[in-house]
Amino acid sequence: MKPVFKQYNQNQLMLLPPSLEELVPQNHPVRVVNTIVDKLNIDNILKQYKGGGTSSFDPRMLLKVLVYSYMINTYSSRKIERLLHENVNFMWLSGMQTPDHNTINRFRSEKLKDILKPIFAEMVLMMHQAGYLDIKEIYTDGTKIEANANRYTFVWGRAIKTRREKILSQIHELWQYAENVTLRELPDTMPTTYEEITPEKIETAIDNINNSLIGQKVEPKIKQKLNNVKKKWPQKLREYQEMEEILKERNSYSKTDNDATFMRMKEDHMMNGQLKPAYNSQISTNNQFILNYTVHQTTTDTVTFKEHIEEFPTLYNMLPEKVTADAGYGSEENYEYAEQMNIEAFIKYNYFHKEQTKKWLNDISKSENYFYNHQQDCLYCPMGQKMLRIDTKTTTTKTGYKQTIARYQAQNCEGCSLRPACHKSSTNRIVDVNHNVRKHRAKAKERLMSEEGLIKRSRRPIEPEPVFGNIKHNKKFKRFNLKGKLKVEIEMGLISIAHNLLKLSKIA
């Protein structure tokens, strides 16, 4: 028996050539992108275009192409350009138009700046109205995504401070040397503190030292050092000032993306705690749809909560009624903010699970186990002894939030049989108590232990965490392609829209 092959003729003509419409399946995700984007109000994008000159590509078409590209894990503008020539879905979506990679990239990084967030919110509202999600109940979490920056060119705030202090120390030595040689006190122009070190003050101090040493017998090494100092230090200090302006409240930044901060990542294959330039990306979800996204330069989730939640009124004209988050958000400031905004916060604190164990409850060294008498404003230690209030101190967090801490001291720990297990201080035990934190944690515990709280706690791990897993592992989005916080926010918006529409295409 001879094998029989199907007829193959590349040059065969068709009487009725197929259209692109016929080649795209009816239930394909690209049709969801096309339908949703067609319904959007893009007036804000249209305002970015000026009249005159040659014609421009339709911004609605470019937005469709970008969203679908992020949906199929294609983030490079050059790859998108190639797909517009080769892929049937892209040809159908663009109407056979072929913008080049420069046009695509300019539209993404310039035209969508400060505009994509309202478009994202409009899509979320469409899904909310269709019953796919609820914007009143949210689940919030964060993850660190690597920046498009060199991992080995960085600036550290501590290093700058150390160098400035070294300059101050050396200039003091030269100043002291000049006073010893001339046997007189120099004019009082010498900076004395770290904050006073400026290029102008250093230049003045160096000039005074040089003028005082005219006609004096000066060691060659000192002359050489003074010349070197005058030539390099003022310029170095100006560089340090520029670096500190970029740093602001941060501890580090990347030289190739000044907005990126060095953060400890979970993807640490060498297991050496390597830091990488990254952004802290926060999302809120419901039914695994992303309702809000924000990008932050700080490494901790705690200080991102308020800024993240404050965007909801801008997006949806309302705050969420209920927020569920893990212990990374359980700070006094966040509890206070949620209470002020009438948000029911199902947020754990750092020892929520530990305090329910026998070991914790029986640990007499834990001041959280001490009974507080509100009327007499005192604590009772495990022996039943009164601990009287001896002081009140106020601390301020990095965000400017003021915390009030009360200090209580035991009256007589001498000879107490429980002392070895209670504390190791040589004096009577002193305990710091933040009563506001205690109050908020008691309320949080009551909510978390309720029937609704148990449901929220069990649902939280299957809300934002799988979304991050999908973005990072299924969509291979582990590193931003654009540089700068504003452009990174655009990319975070595109990947969030792509995630939502892909999920919608599977359940609609």
The pLDDT tens digits of the residues spanning 2-47 come to 899 888 888 888 878 888 999 999 999 999 999 999 999 999 999 9
What pLDDT, on a 0 to 100 scale, did the predictor assign at position 212?
75
Residue 468 tokens read as 């991050």
Residues 33 and 101 both lie in one domain? yes
Domain presence at residue 415 = yes
Residues 102 and 160 both lie in one domain? no
Residues 246 and 160 both lie in one domain? yes
What pLDDT, on a 0 to 100 scale, did the predictor assign at position 43?
92
Between CA 322 and CA 345 the distance in angstroms is 6
Q: What sections of 248-309 are H helices per DSSP?
A: 305-309
How large a percentage of the chain has pLDDT more than 70?
95
Domain boundary, last residue among 388, 410, 430: 430
**DSSP per-residue letters across 107-136:** IIIIITTTTHHHHHHHHHHHHHHTTS--TT
What pLDDT, on a 0 to 100 scale, did the predictor assign at position 169?
81
What pLDDT, on a 0 to 100 scale, did the predictor assign at position 280?
97
Give me the domain span that covers residue 220.
Answer: 155-253
What pLDDT, on a 0 to 100 scale, did the predictor assign at position 271?
63
Q: How many domains does the chain have?
A: 3
Q: pTM for the whole thing?
A: 0.90
Contacts of 198 (CB under 8 A, 6+ apart): 191, 237, 241
What pLDDT, on a 0 to 100 scale, did the predictor assign at position 178?
72
Domain presence at residue 268 = no
Domain presence at residue 47 = yes
Domain boundary, last residue among 253, 286, 308: 253
Domain presence at residue 456 = no
Domain presence at residue 357 = no
Q: What sections of 381-484 are H helices per DSSP?
A: 419-422, 435-449, 451-459, 464-469
Domain presence at residue 286 = no
Residues 159 and 247 both lie in one domain? yes
Which residues of 265-331 form beta strands (DSSP E)? 275-286, 289-296, 322-325
What pLDDT, on a 0 to 100 scale, did the predictor assign at position 193?
54
Domain presence at residue 378 = yes
Low-confidence ranges of the chain (pLDDT < 50): none
Domain presence at residue 371 = yes
Domain boundary, last residue among 196, 219, 253: 253
